[in-house]
Amino acid sequence: MDRFRNLVKALAAVVVEGCFHLDESGVELMAMDPSHVSMVDFRLPAEFFDAYNCKEETMLSIRVEEFLRFLDRIRKEEEVAIKLEEDKAQLHIHSTSRGHTRRFVIPILEPLEEAIPQPKVFYKSSARILIGSLRRALRDASLVSEQVELHVSGAEVKMSAVGNMGSTDSVWSREAEDLLEVAAEEESEGRYYLSYLRDMVNAAASSCEVATLELSTEMPLKINFELPQGRLIYYLAPMIGV
């Protein structure tokens, strides 16, 4: 249950209302934040769950933060079953422990009419990095600014921030232990909102240890968090002309 709850927390860092697509193979979500600055591409296969049953394709729209509030009421020792009651427009959460059963009921929303397309970007550089090291660099940057600049070349990854209180730099050379891989067809850089990037990384840190950053100059940053099962990818729009 903790693994599932942590992933929902990761979604809540970006998504307010999520329209999930369910079929026999698993659960998917492609959604943007209300400001259209960030986006998440999420998937959990049926094998992630102890038991999973979905006989036909279904769309499930809910407020992710409200769903998380109910999940936070579940204790570790409880067994949990989540069931969609389409005819009642409700999502039911049943938790059971030692003969005690609790039920939570969440109203579902009307599905979104427009499907969100996946970004089509050809990335020029990439880096696989330990999330713990990335979080420390973001905390450093937050001391001086609400913006962060990311630069990736074939030799290193650099994160920097400049503000009225000073400046910070975090540089991972190719030999750095925390930088697992780095590659670049050409040097790439972009400037991003620190608060969005920090929320994404912090939320995903409970579910995985490694992230792959993909970057092209002044294009959305792609962050692929390497889950044991499933997919969790964020896209973050660059700050252009700010």
Output the CATH code of domain 125-236: 3.70.10.10
* pLDDT score recorded for residue 2: 85
Tokens of 47: 């094998």
Name the fold adopted by 2-107. Proliferating Cell Nuclear Antigen (3.70.10)
pLDDT of residue 53: 94
Instruction: Indicate whether 81 pLDDT > 70.
Output: yes
Mean local confidence (pLDDT), 125-153: 96
Q: How many CA atoms lie within 13 A of 163 on its CB side?
A: 14
- Across 53-71, average pLDDT: 92
Cα–Cα distance for residue pair 238/230, rounded to 1 Å: 26
Q: Which residues have C-beta within 8 Å of that of residue 142, sequence separation ≥ 6?
A: 161, 194, 198
Domain ranges of the chain: 2-107, 125-236
What pLDDT digit, counting tens, does each position of 85-132 carry?
988 999 999 999 888 999 999 999 987 667 777 788 899 999 999 999
